[in-house]
A = this chain, B = another copy of it.
Amino acid sequence: MPTSKDVARLAGVSQSTVSYVMSGRRPISEKTRKRVEDAMAQLAFQPNAGARALASRRSQVIGLAIPFVPDLHRGSMMGFISVIAASARQSDYDILLVTDDEGPQGLERVVGQQLVDGLIIMQVEGDDARVPVIRNLPVPSVLIGIPEKHEGLKCIDADFELAGQMCVEELAKLGHETVTLVNWQDAVVRRRVNYVKRFHHGVDKAGAATGAKIIHVPGRATIAGMEKAVANALEQTKGVPAFIAPEAANQDLLVEALNNLGLVLGKDVSVVVNCSDSLAERQRIPLTTIDFEPDQVSRRVVQMIVHDLTEPTSRSHEALELIRPVFKHRKSTIRPRPQR
């Protein structure tokens, strides 16, 4: 493999000139630049990453901490990862994976070995063991998800509060007087992921603002449980029922339960789902869907970390960015006829 020395020799310049041609950190005459570039092309030169990292003290690699994910979220996770990797390349960074089962020490390792210049932490939960660790790490990082204590951290997430709000407003505007929120399943709630709370908050807030009555029913993992929950909600419902099912795992069940109770979606009942893995498309069911452009989060997170990595000034100041959700398939919700 040719080295920059070889390039220098062939181009008849010094090694440092070759380096400066690559980095552009000092003016080079058009003539020598051309000679160097030709030599590089001729030798198919590629700079040695290790040597570069050693000398420059930057690896041009970003560590990506991926969570251990239960089946359901895997699809979306994958989307994040590939978009993050692709966007990172656009800024001349590579992505190194840090798996969860190495524990938070994994983060200390890749930073300690100076393998990475910064970190992106995915799926941050309310009380995440990785958070205290990254606080003490000498590299910038950006979190996807918002931990309980996030002072001084850069976080980005979908705006779940707004999502909850929008769901209720949508239904209230159509004329629904009662809206049932099917909660996340217990396993998720117990993980204390912050977004559950935030979604609830948005729902309740919009309920108060619009006057819609909000019924909360727990997320159930079985169809029987779901049917009971739904029946229960229907009893307390005034007018045409409406449901909000933010968790993907519940959506199939809710749809099935409503079917079993003889309610036709988009006709007898409105359903709004969130974060749907394209349930609407997949099953061709009339649902209103509220969702986030996942790529938007991914690209933004890379922007943020790259900014911290390249901006020489201003060490990582706190930041909290929320991505706005959007409606899709919106026509399938119904406008109840006035009930009296």
CA–CA, A277 and B61, complex, Å: 33
* A15 nearest CB across to chain B (Å): 15
Indicate whether A132 reaches chain B with its CB closer than 8 angstroms: no
Q: List, in ascending order, chain B residues with CB within 8 A of A106's CB.
A: 89
Q: How many copies does the complex hold?
A: 2
- Is there an interface contact between B66 and A85, defined as CB atoms closer than 8 Å? yes
* A230 nearest CB across to chain B (Å): 17
Q: Which of A1, A66, A85, A282 has the most CB of B within 10 A?
A: A85
Indicate whether A187 reaches chain B with its CB closer than 8 angstroms: no
Indicate whether A78 reaches chain B with its CB closer than 8 angstroms: yes
Given contacts A48-B114, A49-B113, contact A97 B75 (CB under 8 A): no
Contact bitstring A49-88, B, C-beta under 8 A = 1, else 0? 1111110000101001010110100111111011001100
CA–CA, A74 and B76, complex, Å: 8
* A2 nearest CB across to chain B (Å): 10
* A283 nearest CB across to chain B (Å): 7
Indicate whether A258 reaches chain B with its CB closer than 8 angstroms: no
Indicate whether A304 reaches chain B with its CB closer than 8 angstroms: no
Extra contacts, 14 of them, besides A46-B112, A49-B59, A66-B85 (Cβ < 8 A), are A1-B112, A46-B114, A48-B113, A50-B51, A50-B59, A69-B82, A81-B81, A81-B97, A82-B97, A82-B99, A82-B100, A85-B97, A85-B99, A96-B96
Q: List, in ascending order, chain B residues with CB within 8 A of A112's CB.
A: 1, 44, 46
Q: Which of B47, B78, B82, B96 contacts A75 (CB 8 A)?
A: B78
Whose C-beta in chain B lies nearest to the C-beta of A64? B97
Given contacts A85-B66, A112-B1, contact A97 B94 (CB under 8 A): yes
CA–CA, A96 and B79, complex, Å: 17
